[in-house]
A and B are shown apart, each in its own frame.
Chain A
Amino acid sequence: MSFGTKEFFAILSLVVLGLVSVSLGTAELSFEVLYLSRIPRTLSCILAGASLAVSGLIIQILVRNKFVEPGTTGATESAMLGVLIATLFAPSASIFIKMVFAVICSLIGTFGFLSLARTLPNDQPLLIPLVGLIYAGIIGAGVTFIAYQGDLLQYLGVWMSGEFSGILSGRYEILWFAAIAALIAYMSANQLTVIGLGESTTVNLGLNYRHVMLIGIATVATVSGIVVVTIGILPFVGLVVPNVVSRIFGDNLKQTLPIVAFLGGVLVLTSDIIGRIVRFPYEVPAGTIFGIVGAAVFLYLLLRKPAHG
């Protein structure tokens, strides 16, 4: 198949899914419903999925490890911490302010993880995601504790499984920021690939290592913060999508980044659709669905290495 045909099918499937998503629901289809709820919801699925997948890819490059994603670096939990703090101290603040808090905390959390990861030996590839998971878990315990003290546990629970049911026009637009962040990453694709080769190679090739690192980290933190604020946690997207794409298409960032974004958007949209169909008219959060599928794929990736004789 030529590249053109593949592209065509890709866009076709996206359109089909979009149409399905837009027509699902209990309300009467009207322009208002479309404008206020359905289209924003569909768009936010795609945007969230795409930017999460891309930020997963970026952090995999930065940490040089295929098994990490924002959720295993403490970025998501730190973002939650940020929102929680914002909610506690400025409950009536706009969603934008909360997002800013989330992003800042996410940045701090991600930096924390990266410095931790730097102390780890490179020859044990699974150590880093493991450490990241525990690190995220510890922050998560802290988040739960604060939520408990501030009587916000239920509020927290709603977030823990990322869902799109609360998306309305006017509430989701900041996701476009996430998409922009991901786009910036795309434009730095070549530089990021070089970073993936290591610090000495990067310096050798005349690139400013810290600079590109910072862009990468900022992207990841921004995306995490924004997605958490609007939707909650969508686990495994950032991990599974880049891995699957890498297995099929290789690691040329300029080529694979759009595919990763596309696949991320499509998969999250599909999860959302499934979530809406499976127990119509009730909804199952997309995060829960993807949690199951994502975990299964991750387990498969972990356990599949056959004995090399």
Chain B
Amino acid sequence: MINISNVSHQIGTSVILDDICLEIPSNGITAIIGPNGAGKSTLVNLIARQAALQNGRIAIDDLDLSSTATEALALKMALVSQSVGVASRIRVKELIAFGRWPHNKGVLRETDKNVINLALERFDLVELQNRFLDQISGGQRQRAFIAMAFAQETDWMLLDEPLNNLDMFHARALMQELRSLTDHGNKGIVMVIHDVNYAARWSDNCIGLQSGKLIFSGPTNEVLTPKNIKDLFKIEVSRVSCGSQQLFDHY
């Protein structure tokens, strides 16, 4: 469980987050949705301790972010990145190996090699393992980053708008993979999603933010209603049935 109590965040005079209180249950996909500038990325960054907490408290599985060593937190949660900065000449396998750092501080042991190979297979990267990151496609790169987070072997995985640069095929593949990680792997996944329908289709819980305020939070099938969506995005949507799923027509 991730406990967020009275978290506020300001940059200069702008209020990015306003007194957010919520609980994110373990094991399942929790989607954070909302219009632009709602503070979604900031919230994820705060949970991932990428930014310092200004007000309030965040605890992840009873570990308080402000008082727990960052190395211990790295064994608890992994943030899936989108870039490697200057170090672009890395091979896929090496990137995934970095995910083992919190466990081995750079020294590869048998267990690490096993996890790395598992990650390579799981995310269909075995053939690409020796290619450089800048030689593979965007979708493949995305998989590599998730494989790296997977290799980190944490209870939680955090993602900030991972679907943005993916085409339909890869976006669905990603969601399927994340789904399987929670179903078979006991992981808790927190992700910022842009498109409401991905949240509706794949997530277990949903959090709605708007202008820094919490609008709703809870199990997806309860809180993701046309009324709530209208409150959030200021747009009328209608519910559409698609087989056993409910989706929203916002076009």
Question: Are A and B in contact, CB atoms below 8 Å, in the complex?
Answer: yes
Residues 251-272 of A at the B interface (beta carbon under 8 Å): none
B137 touches A (CB below 8 Å): no
B244 touches A (CB below 8 Å): no
A307: chain B residues within 8 A (beta carbon): 11-12
Q: Identify the closest chain A residue to B14 (Cβ).
A: A309
The number of residues on chain A lying at the interface, defined by a beta carbon within 8 Å of a beta carbon of chain B, is 4
Mostly, the A contact residues are: loop
Residues 289-309 of A at the B interface (beta carbon under 8 Å): 306-309
The number of residues on chain B lying at the interface, defined by a beta carbon within 8 Å of a beta carbon of chain A, is 4
B54 touches A (CB below 8 Å): no
A-B contact count (CB 8 A): 8
B110 to nearest A CB, angstroms?
47
B204 to nearest A CB, angstroms?
34
B16 to nearest A CB, angstroms?
9
Q: Identify the closest chain B residue to A308 (Cβ).
A: B12
Q: Identify the closest chain A residue to B16 (Cβ).
A: A309
Residues 205-251 of B at the A interface (beta carbon under 8 Å): none
Could you mark each residue 7-23 of chain B with 1 if its beta carbon is under 8 Å from any beta carbon of chain A, else 0? 00001111000000000
Could you mark each residue 195-222 of chain A with 1 if its beta carbon is under 8 Å from any beta carbon of chain B, else 0? 0000000000000000000000000000
Complex Cα distance A307/B13, Å? 10
A162 to nearest B CB, angstroms?
40
B13: chain A residues within 8 A (beta carbon): 309
Complex Cα distance A309/B11, Å? 5
A309 to nearest B CB, angstroms?
4
B17 to nearest A CB, angstroms?
13
Q: Identify the closest chain A residue to B12 (Cβ).
A: A309
A305 to nearest B CB, angstroms?
11
Q: Identify the closest chain A residue to B15 (Cβ).
A: A309
A304 to nearest B CB, angstroms?
13
Residues 1-59 of B at the A interface (beta carbon under 8 Å): 11-14
Could you mark each residue 140-177 of chain A with 1 if its beta carbon is under 8 Å from any beta carbon of chain B, else 0? 00000000000000000000000000000000000000
Complex Cα distance A149/B11, Å? 56
B83 to nearest A CB, angstroms?
20
Pick the most buried of A306, A308, A309: most chain B CB atoms within 10 A of its CB: A309
B25 to nearest A CB, angstroms?
33
Could you mark each residue 185-215 of chain B with 1 if its beta carbon is under 8 Å from any beta carbon of chain A, else 0? 0000000000000000000000000000000
A309: chain B residues within 8 A (beta carbon): 11-14
Complex Cα distance A306/B11, Å? 10
Complex Cα distance A308/B11, Å? 8
B51 to nearest A CB, angstroms?
13
B11: chain A residues within 8 A (beta carbon): 307, 309
Complex Cα distance A307/B11, Å? 8
Complex Cα distance A306/B14, Å? 13
A306: chain B residues within 8 A (beta carbon): 12
Complex Cα distance A308/B13, Å? 9
Complex Cα distance A308/B12, Å? 7
Q: Identify the closest chain B residue to A309 (Cβ).
A: B14
A/B interface sample: 8 pairs, CB < 8 A: A306-B12, A307-B11, A307-B12, A308-B12, A309-B11, A309-B12, A309-B13, A309-B14
Given A308-B12, A309-B12; 6 other pairs, CB 8 A cutoff = A306-B12, A307-B11, A307-B12, A309-B11, A309-B13, A309-B14
- Ranked nearest first, the 6 interchain pairs of A and B with the lowest CB-CB distance are A309-B14, A309-B12, A309-B11, A307-B12, A307-B11, A306-B12
